[in-house]
Structure 1
Amino acid sequence: MNALLSLIITHTLSSIDILKMTRSMEDLYIRHHTTSTFLLSLSSSFFLLLLLLLPSLPSIYSETAYTLPTAYFINCGSTHSVNVSARLFVGDSEASPSSFMYQDSSHDASNSSSSVDLYRTARIFKAPSSSYRFKVNSPGSPHFLRLHFYSFVSAGGRLDLSGAIFNVSVQGLTLLPNFSNPAGSANSSTATATVREFLLTVNGDVFAVYFTPIGSSSFAFVNALEFFPVPEGLVPVSIPTSSVGSNGDFMEHRREVLATRYRLNVGGPAVEPGSDTLWRQWGNDSGFLQNPEASQTKTYPDDLDYQYDLTGVDIYTAPRIVYQTVRYLNATDGVYSNVTWRFRVSPNSSHVVRFHFCDILGIGDNTVWFKLSVNDNFTMGIQDKDDYVRLKVPFNQSSVVKSGVDGLIKVSIRNNSGSSQSSSLPLAYLNGLEMMEMIGYWDGKSTATMPKKSHTRLILGVAFGSFGLLLVLVLVGVLALKGRRQKPTDTVSVWSPLPAFAGFGSSHGNKSSDPSISSNSPVLNLHLGLKISLSEILFATNNFDSKLMIGRGGFGNVYRATLRNGTQVAVKRSEPGSSQGLMEFQREIIVLSKIRHRHLVSLIGYCAEKSEMILVYEFMEKGTLREHLYNTDLPVQKNKDLPVLPWKQRLEICIGAAQGLQYLHEGAANGIIHRDVKSTNILLDGNYVAKVADFGLSKLSSSLLDQSQMSTGLKGTFGYLDPEYLKTQQMTEKSDVYAFGVVLLEVLCARPPIDNMLPREQMNLAEWGTANFQKGTLEKIVDPLMSGQINPNSLRKFGETAEKCLKEDDQERPSMADVLWDLQYALQLQGSPVPRQLHEDSTTNGSSMLGFSEVQRLPSFSMSFTEDDSLIRKENEHESLNN
């Protein structure tokens, strides 16, 4: 070990050298996937060595530790939350209802889309310096700020939002000067939603965005707002500069605010926010081509080879489909020398332009060598002598581009004139492009503060005795009365992150400080701020009224309950007085307190008083996936007349569940294996959004759970168990993949995993489904209620995905990220009449792409770019938790 230490200190090693050395010295087992980091298994001494050397050595493999955000996404001007394609915009609960404005309910009454619901309300600002304020959890990090605007006429016709003129700003910098919504009146059949996106670095603990009306008779408004952190490397700090007359210097832009102007999937279809990891909209590049006949397009539907350590590119840089579609130079017979795109921008302005590349053309070694030029004067060479230019490896290049007085930026790709390769080879290509204007310097700080809660005064008063308490109560009453009579001058909305449990007192003390916890309480050591008192549980469930029971599982009974604030929840109670299920109880609390995702059921709290073990979750109105597919043995309150889930909706539910499982495997710290994936553990909310539930059997790393709590016996549900797990009793992420494959067949066939009443060859659904897929007779086992609904290409892709999940050898099974991509592709095929090739689907209308809303709905959410560089984009669909 000393020799090894001396070797490392003496020589400067690359990250790859270190990786090779650790493999050879310690027989390191590394499992790698495109969206996850390396998992290192080292002996204790060698691991300690690496920790000591880590500050001074390059990282072995350091993919971003970014986690998808849960805040802030706000449905402005409404107290209601709106779920838009699995993204929840929470109600504007911090604002006064007097500032809310509602669209005339008779307008577009036939359209019940939740996407439209987001734009049926608006928050109105008439006072100067009105603002939204947000508590920042990660100061110094880049954030996206998205503002949604949609003009409509209020109920009764008293106010038309298209007449608003206002500024939107952060402290010291105006983001939108003299802004008015270019979409026009909502009475127009062509009204569109406008989304303005900004990338800025926030250095303070509080972020404020201000809305200032221009003129005494004007007002400001906003329909929806998003503010959340993004990965650190989304845009590099220093990048080369190109201008009309010069090039070559590097520009530090970390303190520049960037406004998105263009974001294009080059050579491929438009990408909707729901298919992007950061909910971005990508348009098609066809409308910007100067010479469209000079290019061809191609789609590559198979896996990519992400090399984060070489390229800095991961799943958050751009969606996979951007790298899986390409536009390349049609160099046949040497007729065309270049492919050129033209973009209208502000004159004499600077833009950060990012170019996305991935060689999916299969050109071969030593042949990739082409040039990309900007404004005919700045040129960068792309060639495979660079280590990151490899087959199927996504990478990107960025440049700061300065436009001239004509307000145009031209981008061209051309083959290298000095190349000895045949001119017929498609050497020059481009996969994606982003263009963001640098609108001004901002130090990222704000003098805005987060007002303290009104009950602080009351809490302080208690320390001074009953007289002080009475005095404070009187003062609060007087202030409240005064506040009612006083007209506010400024409007301020304050938003803080959602605590682990809000609305009830939490306990962080030990047994002696909390007499409500009995000596036989099972979770004395779980001080997570989630505890709910038993009296609160009894109130919510009406003393566990049997009429409120909605289910029964291995852990206990499940009740539909209502908290004092009116929130509906699900309460899961173990059998009183029993210690059975203690391990599962603690494990579920620990797991759900560490993770939060839009496709995972959220834990609201737990109760551990008087030998009770009670878990409180968000309520999932539509119940389990299974009861929507076929008859179940679930007890009371089950709707006997559940509507049939159409095939497209079944696909969307599978995609949502896959996203939740992918997050567990790759997004959660250290990775989590669910271990009990089944159709009864996939729940549906009121909008049929799927969420994975029941983490009592989940397998955690030792950093989260003591090894003494890990069960070594077989766990899971018969019919979903991985054959490899049955042999080795070693559970991996691929065990979840196998179980999910069974769920996919349940969705397709509408029958249970095991049915002893069927002939022997049909009893086991996994074996029966796999056999039919291999024989090419999958259509014979499809749910009869789906007759005529399923596109044959979608069925083929769906069956192929299920069959891969059910491979006997777990090494042959895909990751959940790959399963997710395949399901999204199956959804796209379901909506498109054109088979197989993704780029061919780009010629159809918006409704055929990934099953999204018809473009003729109001408001129209299709992407378009105007000549004045305004970005009019489809409404971005997000989910957040209440803040």
Structure 2
Amino acid sequence: MKSLLLLLFVWFLFLIFIPRQTQGIKFLVSCGFNSTSYADSRKWASDSIPNDNFTLSDPGIPAFNSTSVEDTDYTGFGSLYRSARLFNTSASYNFTLDPGNYCVRLHFYPFQFGIFNSNDSAFDVSTNDLKLVTKFNISEEISWRAEKTNSNVTSIVKEYYINVDLKGLQIKFVPNPSSFAFINAIEILPSPNNLFNSNITKVGSNGLATITDRAIETMYRLNIGGPKLKSTTDQFLYRNWDSDENFMFSINAATEVHNTSAISYVTQNYSSIAPLLVYETARVMGNTEVVEKRFNVSWRFFVDPNFDYLIRLHFCELTYNKPNQRIFKIFINNKTAAENYDVYVRAGGINKAYFEDYFDILPQQTDTLWLQLGPDSLLSGPGTDALLNGLEIFKLSKNGNLAHVLDWTSLNGKLHSHDNSKTRLLIEQICIGMACLLMLMLLSGGYCLYVKGKKKSKMAEDAPPGWHPLVLHEAMKSTSNARPHNQVVKNFFSTPSINNRMGRKFTLSEIKGATKNFDESTVIGTGGFGKVYRGEIDGGSNIVAVKRADPLCGQGLKEFETEIEMLSKLRHRHLVSLIGYCEEQGEMILVYEFMTNGTLRNHLYGSPPPANVLSYKQRVEVCVGAARGLHYLHTGSEVGIIHRDVKTTNILLDEEFVAKMSDFGLSRAGPTLDQTHVSTAVKGSFGYLDPEYFRRQQLSQKSDVYSFGVVLFEVLCGRPVIDPSLPKDQINLAEWALRWQRQRSIETIVDPRLEGDYSVESLKKFAEIAEKCLMDDGKNRPSMGEVLWQLEYALQLHDAYIRERESFRSTGELPFGDGALSLTRIREDE
């Protein structure tokens, strides 16, 4: 009897203190299917079978596809996506749950069921008082994600973390007027209480942000440096981890590392945060043979503007077994999140897995989130690069809302497919009417132009319907009453001979005749557009360079038009002149003046090496000429032009070794007077790229100054900017030369072929200019005008040295001018 009473007492305590049966229950619901199904190695209940733990307010319309479905996004869900439940009125799933935190996933897959096409659906989804999505359209969402992630997207899975109160959980679907809602599957999983901390470090400050009582949506979850991890590898929440390749700004900026040794969590409480597989792979910046270590490795993500974000970084040191071996900085949205970051120190050892959370706010109109990791250039440890194992980005609710309407105008400008029929008919009628009116206006205008001037009409007829060389537009503007862009352009277009030369249109047969039908023997170089040929025109009396666009190369129509536009507006002794163009049969060809002595790089360390080595004076004169060309670009118009690809292959030399800047395909207008920079994607060449521009995507004229500083050291040392064959500390020219220059020992690494050919004072001034150009902070670099002035002074110092040297050798008297120190050394040697 006592045993029975004790058993009853224990059972009573169990009923009181142990949570109800629904606590921790996993709802896996297959919507629209009439029986239990299996997918993703789990059992899914049908929403057609009565269940005590959830109810459906409206049966809607069950839809089932008898054919198999292949889902390339989440392998294992194909069978689940064969069914769906449709609602043409408001309806809700009501789940009985104990209070707590839950992970909720909504699965959507496009389908066709009778008259219902999921691409035509548009609806809102909310849970309790929280709006999840609004005007959701599956085709728009898939197209947007495919475009932004550069990947094959076939389904959409929305993942949320929600706190549920005593009322349980209601998931409500509200179709837009004349449309319908649908859902393929629903997951509800208990979320570990330690999954999210209440307080998170704010990016750019030492403060903390509180996220208590805020719902969370998962935007991205990446296994950095490793393959995609299926949900079955996650025993807690069945989370998928995508590969990070499609999100890297430059995949060559980092390399993968792997370690399958015994990895453990810093604390066992972290075991539910991420699987250990995430920490077995990483990306590091140790591959300095690819990119100089002062550059950051970057990931770019498209997110919803005007929301707060939680950025979770997963770390595990896989290589170093002591501190101060890998120290780096963390940047989020161009703001410093952490400095002097040492994973080994933070974790307390090697192979210790942990995570860091950061909070940041994205303002209105900002839909891009950047994560960048970079080494601390002031440190010199053997592993002063960066490391990252995993990444998660979460959007935080704002005033009870997580919904964001996609900006569909950026995707082909299509009308929303879910507009009601009356509105669509009205729009179509308006469009047809406007098209007819526009056609009538075009016909009338064309007739008037034909009557008023046959010559202009003929020029318009000669222009092909596809790519239109901008030189034609500029030539036409110069003959009109329109005010030119600036006085330089005005003077340029007022010269008839130059105007005709710039506007010369070659036939394809002329180009083929000039290049011997593009014979390989006439190729003189290759670039981002394609091959460059040596050609003879006008019966062989003029030699030209012919640049022919190759559709397989990285640059194309936009860059060609940019180059024509730039060279049509600008004219300078130190800019390569554009003679004309050819556009026939799909060809895009530009014709330039021929530069007899080729590229500057070829004269520094070309293969085969040039017959005559450039003297120190010639090198300084070339740099002065290139600086004049860049200075003109920066100041020759109202806003200036930024070259954006300054390097020795884009500095050409004519028969008298006069330097001219070339290749303006990446150039763009500079900032206006009230701006300091232009925000744009990073383009250029490794080794020459301004690290500030690379990190912040903020282009300015000082970006050209940095690249020119690299050119100066390249000219001085006579070696490539990136040379993987050299010892590790010499691979990157800019870093190597700066170290010697800061020790004031630059003469140690000067091109040995220049021995005894330069003034020490001139060399010192030349190196000082290069050093200033390579300042980390752009605002501390000189302008191109200042660089030009200093180079001219260095040239004057060298000329004075030469004069005094000759005087010393003829008279034996030591002068007291600028070259005295160098001449003293000469006398000591003699």
| Range class of TM-score, shorter chain | 0.3 to 0.5
Look at both structures and tell me which one has the larger radius of gyration over its CA atoms: 2
TM-score by length of 2: 0.41
Higher helix proportion, which one? 2
